[in-house]
Structure formats: structure tokens, C-alpha cells
Structure 1
Amino acid sequence: MAGSSSQPELGDNVRKEPGPLMKLILQAGRDKGAPSQGLMEPVEKKEPEKDLNWYLPLYKAALRGDWESAKNFFNQDPEAITAKITKVSETVLHIAVGTQRATSFVKELLELIPTEALVTLKDQAGQTALHYAAIYGNVEAAELLVTKSPELTNVWSGAGLLPIHLAAGYANKDMISYLFTVTRDDVEPSPFADRSGVELLNLVISAEFYDLALYLIQLYPKLATLRSPAGNTALRVIAGKPSAFPSGIRLNVWQRLIYSCVPVKFGNVYSPAKIGDMENPAAGNQMSMLICRWVHFFWEFGSSVCKKCHEATWEFIEWLVPYFKSVRDTRLMHRQTLQLIKRLCAEVAGLDYSSAASIFDGPILLAAVSGISELVEEILESFPPAIWSRNQEGHNIFLLAVENRRENIFNILYQMSEHKQLATQLRDVKRNNILHLAGKRAPPARLSLVSGAALQMQRELQWYKEVEKYVLPDSKDARNSNGRTPAVEFSVEHKDLVKEGEKWMKDTANSCTVSATLIATIGFAASITVPGGNNSDSGFPIFHKNTAFTIFAIFDALSLFSSTASLLMFLSILTARYAENDFLYSLPRRLIIGLTMLFLSITSMMVAFSATIYLVFGEKKAWTLVPVAGLACLPVTLFVTLQYPLLKDMITSTYCPGIFGKRSDRLLF
């Protein structure tokens, strides 16, 4: 506009330049150190930060995978694509990768985010979206992220962890397998070396992915000899996993049978034997070479057919009974664990003496406490001096085995030479020898494995008697820091268990006495008032020539005599003195006899009653035997179901070889 002034009008939204005087005032204020406030130093206005509730609709859209709602939000607020929308500074991408149904949402969102910005989008803990995908196990989202920005796999969080570490920490096996293939190893620091590598190995073991751990050790053997930032080695971590070993699980008879029969791996069930050197046959002529090739061909063909049949059979069995698959997986896990510890021990044993000893000390002691005999044996075979490892209280593996009642560790003594004489004579810091520790009460977790206070007391006596065989005569009278001998220690520690055992035995005997008395009464009454009555002339029973009457007479007498015998045995239990040593054989033997006689009396009474029913109501009606016999089996079956486990445990604990003895042919120095 011609002649118009270049100065803005008052209504324009502009900031006026300060005049020369104002500039001097401002400069003087700065020279004196005065604060610039008000008109002294105009500042540029900033928009206030948005409240997090503003992003709540976007948060919900990301959780639902609702891209249309999110797109409308982005049109309204473009900065929300990379904005921090939660109090821990998560972006919408962090939220979206946390749900499987938002895969298409993530794909569309990545189109709006620049590639170079992905590595900078981090939450308060320094974690990228790939860290979140690893935590949630969202493999599809991880593939989208890595495809757009491969550098994400090697971005460290604030805690010094890569996405693959978090995948292992949250036990996402599919995610670990994927990240194994895309995480770069040619960068510094390497994810699979030094502390990062051993941290990854320990996390994989903690997640019980032993096949992946074995794979890691095969690629990076040195990880077996390193410690994590927390000071743990791979052996130390696996020593805290008793269930990963065969000795760490308890199986009944049927489970052991299935465990021993199920194949570990279908593809490796059968392997062809070597018929001979096919390229250099022993005969050295063309005819023998031809014969060997034909034999090898038929062997391979037969093995392949057998293998496929075996696979098909077990697949069908697993389809019918899914439990078989879980047993097979358990056995496969045990096989992988044993291979893993063998490899770990071999690597550690290759170090110098002091380094190997420091690494083996913790795992072998922890394995002794946990009862992992396989790990203890492997360590002792790889590094025999580990047997002298001791904890802060002065306990070696055998003292720990006795203190924690780990019979599978104590049984290693049976696989040793005369070195066991020295290994069992140590004392701890409280001057307890191994017999003192046997005199202490077992930990509650181990004591509860035995049913009934009387059987628990019996097990404690068995431990004391077994350990007593391995100590010198003067050790039996040695005193600890409390001035107690092993025998006194045992009495003091087990006085409450003796009372509990006495109460348990008397309660059991009282309950069974009532049943035995009732059966004896019924048997005696039935023997006087026989079915059908007596002949008034001769006095003989009317049915005395009937076979069913003979059966009745025999089993009624057997019921009376056996119930009377069981009654006497239970009375002897009630009047026993209940000394400590009585729990070893005397009291269990009486209860075994009493329960056996009671079972025999119940069975005999049912047979006699069935014969009576047939005599009175079933003449010339043979079909009545079927329902009568079926009903008669009901109380017998109930007795067996309810009392047989107790009877079996008592017979096994009292008369069978027991928990002690040689369990392996593996000889240890």
C-alpha cells in the first residue's frame, strides 16, 4: 500500500523490538547480575503440556487395535504419533505392541514414524518398542519393528538389557528363538559375550529353556566360566532348579514305568549299528563289499520302517492320553539338562585350580541342599577337589545332605573309595559332627514327605542309625558347642515328635480297635446261630452238607480269629512304653500286623456273610451270587483304598532295603 507505514499496528499479534534505552537498561541489569523479569527480558511463550488424560482415547484405541479411531486422533494432534502418553513415558507404539490383536495397528503406525526415530522412542526405563514386544512375546510385532529398523535389536535399555534379555526374563521362547536369528553379534559390546552373554544364559536357564541354553554354550563356551553382574554363574543358576533333574521329581510306580518307556525324541529312537567299514571292508574284495552294501541297505530300510512305526505308535498313544506327552517332555528336559551340566562342568574344569574351585564351590553346595545328585556327581567327576567345599557354617556336601535329609546326596558315599572316611569326620563352626546333624530334627518340608508322626520318627531313627556307621567311636561321645553328645541332641530335638508319634499311634489303634471288636462280636454270634438253624433231633446244622455252609464256617472262623488277633495287637500298641527306639521296629511291626489282620477279618466276614445270604435266599438261584459278591467287595475295596497306602508305607519303611545304599554304578574317586 503506497505511503503506508511499515510499523505494525497495535492490534497485530507481534512482539515489538525494545528501543535503545530499553536495551541499555537490560544490559545494565545483566552486568549487575539482576534477574531479568517482567519487561526487563521478554521471553517466548510456550504452550502448556497436555494432560495425560488427553491421550486416553488414543491409549484405548491402541489396546483395541482400533486404527480408525487412532487415525482420527492423529489428524487432530499429529504430535501424538511420537508423544509420551503415559506417566512412564510410553508412546502409543509401546502400548500397541503389547497386544496380539493390534498387529495391523502397529503396521499402520510404523508407516507414520520415521525409521531413524524408532531407536529414540524410549520409555522412562530406556526401553524401545522392541523391548516391549519382547516382554509381551509379540513375535509378529517384533518382526515388523526389526524389518523397519534392524538396529532395534541392539539397543540397550537403561538397565543394560537388550530385547533378547527381556524375552528370556519373561520366558517367551518363541521370541527368544526369533531374536537369536536377528540380534547382531558383530557389534561392540557383543550381546553374546562377557557379562551380557552370561546374563542371557542365566535368564534362559531360569526360564527352563535348557535346549536354548545348550545351544548358547555350544556357540559361546566361555560363558560357562563367567559371572553375571549379580555374581551368578550358569552352574549356580541351574543348581537352584531341582525339577530339571530326574532326582528332583517324585514318581509313583506307573509314572516311573511310563518315564522309562517313553522315547526321548522320536527322530532318535533307533540308530543303525555300524556293520563295518563300508569303504574298506575286511575281506578286501569286491564280493564282500557288495555284501556289506546290501546288508547296510536292508538295515537302513528296516530301521527306517521301525522308527516310523514307533513314532506313529507313540503319537497315537499321546493323542489318546495327553499325559504321556508331558512325561516325554519331562524326560527330554532331563536329558537336555544332563547334557548342559556336562558341558558346563567341562568348561569350568579347564580353568586354573583357584578359578575352577571358586566357581564350583557355590553350585555343589547348593545342589547338596537341593538334593540334585546328578549335578554333584558331575562336578565331583570333573573336579574331585570340590568335595572339600564348605559353606560359612563349615558344612561340606555330606553334612548338608544329613542336615537337609537328602538321601540321594548321602548315598554318594557308597560310590566313593576310602576318601569318604575323611569327608565324614569334619566339624562345623558349632563343633557339630555329622552325627550331631543327624540328631537334629529334619526340616519340615522333608519331614512332611512321610505320612504320620510315627513313620516320621522311624525315618529320623533310620537316618541316625545309618550315619552312625560312618563316624569314629569317639565321635559318638563328642560334644558340640552346646555341650551335647549326638544321642542327647537327638533326644532333645525329637522329644516333641515322640509325643506326636505316640498320640498318632494310639489314635490309630483306638480307631481300629473299635472295628476289630465289632467284627469279633459278629463272628462269634454267627458261629453260634448258624444260618438255617440246627436239626432238633441230631443237633447238627441243617445245611451242614451244603458247600456254601462249609465256606461260611471256614471264613467265619477266620474272621473271628483274625479280628481277635488284630484286637490284641492294637491293645499292645495302647500299652506300649513308647521309647525312642520302639519307633524303629517294634511299634511299626505291631501296627502292620494289626492292620493286616483287620483287613483279613473284614474280607473273611464279607465272604461268610455272602455265603449266608446264598444259603438262606439263593437256593437254586445262582445269579444271586453276582450282586452279593459285588456288594461284598465294596467294604473291602474301601478299606484297601483308605488304609493300603499307610500299610504299604509302613511295610516299605520297615522291611524293604530303604532309602540308603548304592544307587549308581558311577564310581567317584
Structure 2
Amino acid sequence: MAVNILSSPNIVPEVLGEHNYATWSACMKNYFLAQDLWDIIETTNDPPQQEDELANCSKTWRRLNAAALHAIQVSCGMEILDQIKAISSAKLTWDILEQMFGQPSQGVGSYGVDSYAGIEALLKAVQSGDWNVLDEFLEAHGVALSAKITRRGQTVLHVAVAAGHVDVVEKLVDRMSAEDLEIRDNDGYTALTEAAVRGKYWMADCMLRKNKNLINIRTYRGNVPVVMAIGYGQIEMARYLYSLTPLDGLMPYSGPNGAALCVQAIYTGTLGVKHLYEMKLIHVQSHELLRCMCEGIVALDTQQRQEARVYVAIIRAIQNGIYEFVFELLRATPDLLWTKDEKSRNIFSLAVLHRQAELFRLILGLHLKNAMIYQRDSNKDTILHMAGMLANFTILDRIPGAAMQMQRELQWFKKLRLDKDVESVVPIEVKQAINKDGLTPQELFMKHHKDMMKEGEQWMKGTATSCTVVAALIATIMFAAAFTIPGGNDQTSGMPMLLHENLFMLFIISDALSLFSSSTSVLMFLGILTSRYAKDDFRKSLPKKMIIGLATLFFSIATMMIAFSGALLIMLRGHSWIVFPIIALAGVPVTLFVLMQFPLLVEMFDSTYKSSIFDRKMEHFFYSYNEQYAGYVFHQ
């Protein structure tokens, strides 16, 4: 029969809250019975396997499951809906709501405790690890061992694990039955799961010795303990639990736990290959794993990809610049090019927003980029608006200094907006587009980068001021040294006495070069100090002056040390035992400058003059399926 949920907006008289579960569940059950949906709630969490006579049932099951799930969702309050919205099984959702609200309140009087003070005394004894008090309490109220004593639905064992008392946990586990160990709190955590996320190995071990099935019990979000452990960074605990977890529970047909475990293992670098970073073995194996994943993804429909978090994975890969993952995934499944995030931003816009140049070049090589370039997100932002937004701090932190950060931001924005190489990528309509806030890309850029411009100006002025003092000092010294030459002058002709000696020529040439280069450096730094600091100055003008200023300052220091060494050799001939150590020490300032400033100089030079971040070298990789896919793209 056709189920029409939308025609029944008032399935229950009142949406589910904290205190009306009994009435709500009775109404819902009657509704499910009337709509022939109760079997979905009563039977299984999983769809029928698509084989033999059940092959035709799979689609029907999915339809009925979706109808029942929708009925539950529209009958819940917003706070409760927010907690269950990610669950795709109607039965699992029903069971979770029963666990959360259907259990009787096991507080005052529910297991023989006569007052709230009794609950408080019990909790205090568990949290402090006072076994004598706890033992006495449990002797008097034995049922309290399996009761839920906190608002989160935790048992005594849950609380003891959280408190970290190993001896108390071991004694409680001895007293509890295997079934009691399987009790879950409101989040679906068993005491083992609580121990897993906290890395309590001995606690987990004593529980698993009594009930091995705990290793398979999932939280209400569907995660087994090993996945929870690695998700919370408990690597050693995850390895221990993995050794006990049946492989069947991590296979694709058993749900997403295996994929989640792999993803977390990759993030934390704990795949367990013995020598993970040696040679190219890990790269080859990772690539093979990626290829197998791509083959599996090709066979999935849209809903299955959503459940397997394929779309989330590709969005995260773009955010983090994982080039190979995106490349292989798009090559195997071209329709993933139309993936969008929660704000309806396509992968082209995301690559720009997160400043991933390699991925941008990858997509730029596609013929279908023209079909993507006009798309806007939920705020009506275009791809050029993305370039106008401030990059993520994790990206900017890789670039030293606010001025160079501003330069890189301008390079992205200006290249997209003006550069002839990519003029076809951003047409005039996109350049002048207005977003939801009424801002053009240019206005949005200025709004987001106002503070960065100020910081860049301060950084430039501070650096230029310090370097100007040094350069001016060198120029003064070298000017004075030119008129106090070693060996003196001939009293008759006024010519230097040592004019024809090689060491004297070395001195005078080095002195002149140091004077001229330091003077040039002073002028460059003065140019920086007197700059207007307009937005466009950060892209070429200011970096160019800083490069010239630093380079000439470095050269002036080096030649000043050479002039000093030459003068010393002239005056102390025949005393090499003192000359050469002093000359060696003269190299210390040059070395310090190289170590402290030269890397900045090199990085600034590369950032200003290296090849464009939008080099189209990736285009030929996608040529083969561009033609094949073109028809699909332009019919969207």
C-alpha cells in the first residue's frame, strides 16, 4: 500500500518530550499498525540481502523504513530530533528512544533506597573509591548494582570507570552478571565503551574476561568499542580491542565501522604496518587500498554513499589538500564532481576557499569547470567570493609573517579576477556578483582582510625599521673606512702607500661594494616605511622592495667582513697565528644573518616570482573522461 506521511501531520497529539514517552509510544505504535509499518520496527535493523527470493524485497524495505523513520522524526521535539537525525534505521531509532525515555526512573525508591540522600551517598562512595561504604550499600540494596543512578543513565560500574578506580571496577565486575555488563547509558555506552574512550586497559580487560560479547556492542550511533577508542586517540587501547574484535563486524556488509576504523587509523598514523614510514611500501599499499575503496564506491547508489560518508570524505580531503585521494576518487566516479557541502559549495569553490592550489589546478583542467563556475552556495557566494574570504588559520600558519600571508591571499584573489591565464574561469558576471549580504567579491575581500592588512603593515614597518638601522650603520662605517685606509698615504702625492698590493685592492673594492649595497638597502627600506600600504602593494611592490633591501643588506655585511679581513691581513703580516682566528670570527655575523634572515628572503622570493599557482599542468590527466562525461555535465 502507498504510505503517505505528509497527509497525516498530527500523528501524535503531542511531540515527544522528556516526560510523555508512554503516551507518545502508544500512539506511534497504533499509527504504525494502521500503516502496515510495525514489522519494520519489530524485525531487524538491516535491509534484506539482495539475493534469491528476497531480491525484490530490498527496495520495499527501504521505502517502508524511510516512511517509519520519517514518522518518528516529525513526531519528536527539535532537541530530541537533533540527537537522532543521523540514524538511518527506523528500528534503531525506536530502540534508542525507548532506552532514553522508556526506562523507568531508577532513582528514589526504585530499588529500595528510601531517599535521595541514599543515591548521593552511593555516588559519593563510587567517585571516591570507598569500597567499604560501597560494599555495605550494595549488600543492603543488591539491585542497585544494575540500576541507572545518574541522569545520563549510568550504572555504578559506569561511574567507577569514569572515576578511574581500577580496584573498585574489578570488584564490581566480579559481583555483576555478564548481562549486567551489557547495560548501556543514554548514549549507548557500555562500561567497556567508557573504559575504551578513557584508555583504561585493565578495566577493559577484566570486563572482557567475563563477557566477550561486550566487544561487539555498539553505541546508539553505531560505533563498536575499537572505533570509539581510536576516535578518542587511545591508540594502545584500540590495538588491544582490535585484536579481540571479530573481523566480520568490520566488514562493509556489517556497517561503516570498518571504514571508520581505517579512516581514524590513517589520521593517527597507526595502521600497524610494521615499518610505516620506511621506503615506499606504505605509499603503495595506501594507493592499493584507495583503489579498492574506489571500486566499492562505484557500485553504491546515492543513499548508500551518504550512509558510508563518501561525500563527507571527499569534502574533508579537499579541505586538507589530500590530492591523491581526490584525484583517484574523481577519476573512478566522475559524478562525485557534483558533491556539495552543507552550505551548497561545490568542490571547485571548496578548493579555492581552503587555498588548495594542487586541487584547484586539478579541477581547472576539466572541461566541465565552466558548468561549475556559475554555481553559488546557500549565501549566494560565488567562487570569487570564496577567494575573498579569509583562509583557514591552519593554511595561513604555514606562511611566515602577516605581509606574506596577505600577499598569498591577494595572489589567489587577483589571479582569479584579473590574470589572462584564467580569465575564462571567472567571467565578468561572477566578478560583479553580489552575495546575500549585498557584497561584491572585492568588498568581501576588504572586509575579511582588514586586520591582516594592518598586521602586515606593522610587520613590514618593524622589519624595515630594524634593517634600516643596521644598513645605515654599515654605510657610515664603510664611508669612514674609505678615508682611513691601512698603510697611510704618500705625503707628496697623496696616493695610498699600498696602492699596488693585491690585499689593498681587495680592501678598497670590498669597502666600496659594502658602502653602495648598504646605501641601496637603506633606500629600499625607506621606500617600505613611506609606502601608502594599499591593498595591491602587498602583492608585488612591498615584497619586491623587501627582497632587494634584505639581499643588499646581506651583501653589504658580507663585503664589510671581507674589507675588515683584508685590512687586518695588511696590518698584521707574518702574524698568521692571530690573523686567521680573527678572520674566522669575522664570518660569524654573516653566518648568523644567513641562519636568521636568509630563509625568509628565499621564501619571499619564491612567493613573489615563482610560477603561477594556477599552472594548468594537470589538464591532460582528465582528458580521457572529460569527453566521455561532457554530455552528462551539460545536461545537469
Q: In structure 2, what is the Cα distance between the partners aligned to 1:439 and 1:594?
A: 30
- Identical residues among aligned pairs (%): 36
What residue in structure 1 maps to residue 504 of structure 2?
549
**Preserved CA contact (<8 Å) 2:365 2:622:** yes
What residue in structure 2 maps to residue 639 of structure 1?
593
**Preserved CA contact (<8 Å) 1:81 1:92:** no
Q: In structure 1, what is the Cα distance between the partners aligned to 2:218 and 2:190?
A: 9
Q: CA deviation at 1:411?
A: 1.6
Report the AA paired with residue 384 of structure 1.
P
**Unmatched 5+ stretches in structure 1:** 1-45, 63-68, 216-263, 267-324
One of 613, 623, 630 as aligned partner of 2:584: 630
Q: After TM superposition, list the pairs within 5 Å mapping 1:402-421 onto structure 2.
A: 402-416=352-366, 418-421=367-370
One of 460, 472, 490 as aligned partner of 1:517: 472
One of 373, 376, 394 as aligned partner of 1:427: 376
Q: CA deviation at 1:380?
A: 1.1
Mapped pair 1:566 → 2:545: no
**Residues 467 and 354 of structure 1: CA distance in aligned 2, closer, same or farther (over 3 Å):** farther
Report the AA paired with residue 593 of structure 2.
F
What residue in structure 2 maps to residue 385 of structure 1?
335
Q: CA deviation at 1:379?
A: 2.4
Q: CA deviation at 1:428?
A: 3.7
One of 399, 405, 409 as aligned partner of 1:450: 399
Q: In structure 2, what is the Cα distance between the partners aligned to 1:486 and 1:336?
A: 43
Q: In structure 1, what is the Cα distance between the partners aligned to 2:405 and 2:318?
A: 22
TM-score with structure 2 setting the length:
0.63
What residue in structure 1 maps to residue 84 of structure 2?
none
Q: CA deviation at 1:402?
A: 1.8
What residue in structure 2 maps to residue 304 of structure 1?
none
Q: In structure 2, what is the Cα distance between the partners aligned to 1:360 and 1:567?
A: 57
One of 120, 127, 136 as aligned partner of 2:180: 120
**Residues 448 and 176 of structure 1: CA distance in aligned 2, closer, same or farther (over 3 Å):** closer
**Preserved CA contact (<8 Å) 1:204 1:212:** no
What residue in structure 2 maps to residue 352 of structure 1?
301
Q: Give the 3-state SS of the residue equivalent to 1:511 in structure 2.
A: helix
The one-character-per-residue Cα deviations of 1:292-317 (angstroms, maximum 9, x if unpaired) are xxxxxxxxxxxxxxxxxxxxxxxxxx
**Unmatched 5+ stretches in structure 2:** 1-111, 627-636
Q: CA deviation at 1:59?
A: 8.8
**Preserved CA contact (<8 Å) 2:384 2:426:** no
Q: Give the 3-state SS of the residue equivalent to 1:528 in structure 2.
A: coil
Report the AA paired with residue 405 of structure 1.
R
Q: Give the 3-state SS of the residue equivalent to 1:408 in structure 2.
A: helix
Q: After TM superposition, list the pairs within 5 Å mapping 1:567-582 onto structure 2.
A: 567-582=522-537
Q: CA deviation at 1:171?
A: 4.3
Q: In structure 2, what is the Cα distance between the partners aligned to 1:660 and 1:608?
A: 46
Q: CA deviation at 1:644?
A: 1.3
The one-character-per-residue Cα deviations of 1:538-583 (angstroms, maximum 9, x if unpaired) are 4333444544323211211111111122223233334445444343
Paired residue total: 496
Q: CA deviation at 1:367?
A: 3.1
**Residues 146 and 450 of structure 1: CA distance in aligned 2, closer, same or farther (over 3 Å):** closer
Q: CA deviation at 1:528?
A: 0.6
Mapped pair 1:90 → 2:156: yes
What residue in structure 2 maps to residue 614 of structure 1?
569
One of 578, 581, 604 as aligned partner of 1:650: 604
**Preserved CA contact (<8 Å) 2:373 2:426:** no
Q: CA RMSD in A?
A: 4.7
Rg larger for: 1
Q: CA deviation at 1:521?
A: 1.3
**Preserved CA contact (<8 Å) 1:97 1:129:** no
The one-character-per-residue Cα deviations of 1:470-518 (angstroms, maximum 9, x if unpaired) are 4355336533146655455555655665555444434433332222221
**Preserved CA contact (<8 Å) 2:158 2:194:** no
Q: CA deviation at 1:336?
A: 5.7
The one-character-per-residue Cα deviations of 1:152-211 (angstroms, maximum 9, x if unpaired) are 5456678876554554454445554554554568xxxx8457897424642563365789
Report the AA paired with residue 354 of structure 2.
N
Mapped pair 1:591 → 2:537: no
Q: In structure 2, what is the Cα distance between the partners aligned to 1:97 and 1:571?
A: 63
Q: In structure 1, what is the Cα distance between the partners aligned to 2:218 and 2:306?
A: 33
What residue in structure 1 maps to residue 260 of structure 2?
202
What residue in structure 1 maps to residue 88 of structure 2?
none
**Residues 441 and 80 of structure 1: CA distance in aligned 2, closer, same or farther (over 3 Å):** closer
Q: Give the 3-state SS of the residue equivalent to 2:528 in structure 1.
A: helix
**Preserved CA contact (<8 Å) 1:81 1:113:** no
Q: Give the 3-state SS of the residue equivalent to 2:622 in structure 1.
A: coil
Q: In structure 1, what is the Cα distance between the partners aligned to 2:395 and 2:344?
A: 22
Report the AA paired with residue 342 of structure 1.
R
**Residues 391 and 180 of structure 1: CA distance in aligned 2, closer, same or farther (over 3 Å):** closer
